[in-house]
Amino acid sequence: MPASLSQHEALVYVMVMMSAVDREMSDDEFARIGRLVQFLPAFEGFDEDQLVRVGHECAAQLAAPEGLDIVLEIVREALPQRLHETAYALAVEIAAADQRIRNEEIRLLQLLRDRFGLDKLTCAAIERGALARFRR
């Protein structure tokens, strides 16, 4: 694991955490992460060829003792405050894509909200927007 993460890597870590929170990370979820990395302005300048490496690093760290707490902390340290809402929105995007929010996903969203110091109203707006985008 790198001693510190770039902003891009930290955002990828957030998405990988959300995808892996149920102990499974499907190819569809990883493909969704790849699509977000390709078109979102927050990833401008990120080398997409590094996505698999970054994803594996995150998964390895999560599997270590106290991995989730460690990853949450290094992500918080890597991201400037202006990207805290963006990171939360990316986590919600991954969680909402299958139209089912599991208890594990809700708990991770709470941890992210607390770690980033986001207010509940902002988080509710982000969550509502994601659910609306994925509604069939």
Q: What is the DSSP letter of 45?
A: T
Terminal Cα distance for the chain, rounded: 39
Residue (of 31, 12, 25) closest to 91 by Cα position = 12
| pLDDT score of 134 | 75
For the entire predicted model, the pTM comes to: 0.92
The span from the CA of 47 to the CA of 114, in Å, is 30
pLDDT tens over the chain, length 136 residues: 455 899 999 999 999 999 988 777 767 778 889 999 999 999 999 999 999 999 999 999 999 999 999 999 999 999 999 999 999 999 999 888 767 778 899 999 999 999 999 999 999 999 999 888 877 7
| Residue pair 126/89 in contact by the 8 Å Cβ criterion | yes
| pLDDT score of 1 | 47
Q: Would you say domain 7-134 falls under CATH 1.10.3680.10?
A: yes
Any idea where the domains of the chain sit in the sequence? 7-134
